[in-house]
Amino acid sequence: MTPSTVTSQETYDAGTPPAASGPSDAYRTERSLFPGDTGSFPLELRQALVRLLRGPYIDGTAEAPLWTAILTHRASLQQYLSEIFLVLTVDPERKIALLTPAGVDAVHTQPIVARKPLRREETLLALRLRLLLDRQAGTGTDATITRSGAREVLAEHRQPGAVDDKRLDELTDSSLARLLALKLLLPTELPGEYRVSNALALALPFDTIDQIPAYLAALDGSADAPDDTTGDSTQEEAAE
């Protein structure tokens, strides 16, 4: 058998793999970022995907390159995220992007990372901040709250018979700390003053703010103890 008659299959069997033969193979090779990389997404798209999965959200004002990548590749991102039961939620006006669970009623479809529900006081404070955020929308002024303001909010919604001011202070500080950790509140240059993140509107997705007072009243009327958890997974998707 002469060299000219050796088939491509015989060459592969001899230990020499065939060269990439199609545009798809060339595309993948061009975008290979590490040995064994079989992905097809460009670097900026992969970075946006990792950042979304890491959470809690992307603020387009603070992270302009990632925001641009998300808007440019939104369809590709959603196609990938759909495979793991996640929905990409984008608010162009507030420049916020975050992930929410698809809510499929089947096993093994829950978010990859377990999310701890908001406690009663954390939910109460978050709801009041959502009202504040919507009232400040379009004014050109950031929605802010102080520690003393947060304490007053929780004092209004104390459990019946609760008079322990020390406990109220502890709940105020722990609620602020949780919302700060979730980046639903953001620190300012002033000690004890916080800016309400635009992501809060997506974390608590009420159709209208008119629904919030009724929700607050329902929480006040609940028999849950202060340390019981409340809310649902939708409220937590901007969390952690």
Q: Give the type of residue at 227.
A: D
Return the HEC string of 20-75: CCCHHHHHHHHCCCCCCCCCCCCHHHHHHHHHHHHCCCEECCCCHHHHHHHHHCHH
**Do residue 130 and residue 96 come from a single domain?**
no
Nearest to 86 by CA among 222, 202, 237, 208: 237
**Do residue 127 and residue 211 come from a single domain?**
yes
**Do residue 80 and residue 135 come from a single domain?**
no
With respect to residue 231, please indicate whether it lies within any of the assigned structural domains.
no
Do the strands 144-146 and 86-91 form a parallel or antiparallel pair, or are they unpaired?
unpaired
Token pair recorded at residue 47: 């970075």
Give me the tens of pLDDT residue by residue for the chain, a chain 240 residues long.
444 333 333 333 444 444 444 445 555 556 688 998 988 898 999 999 999 988 888 999 889 999 999 999 999 999 999 999 999 999 998 899 988 888 888 888 876 665 677 888 998 899 899 989 988 887 888 899 999 999 999 998 887 676 788 999 999 999 999 999 989 999 999 999 999 999 988 887 776 667 777 767 776 665 344 444 444 433 344 434
**Do residue 61 and residue 135 come from a single domain?**
no
**Do residue 127 and residue 94 come from a single domain?**
no
Q: Structural domain tally of the chain?
A: 2
With respect to residue 22, please indicate whether it lies within any of the assigned structural domains.
no
Q: Give the type of residue at 192.
A: G
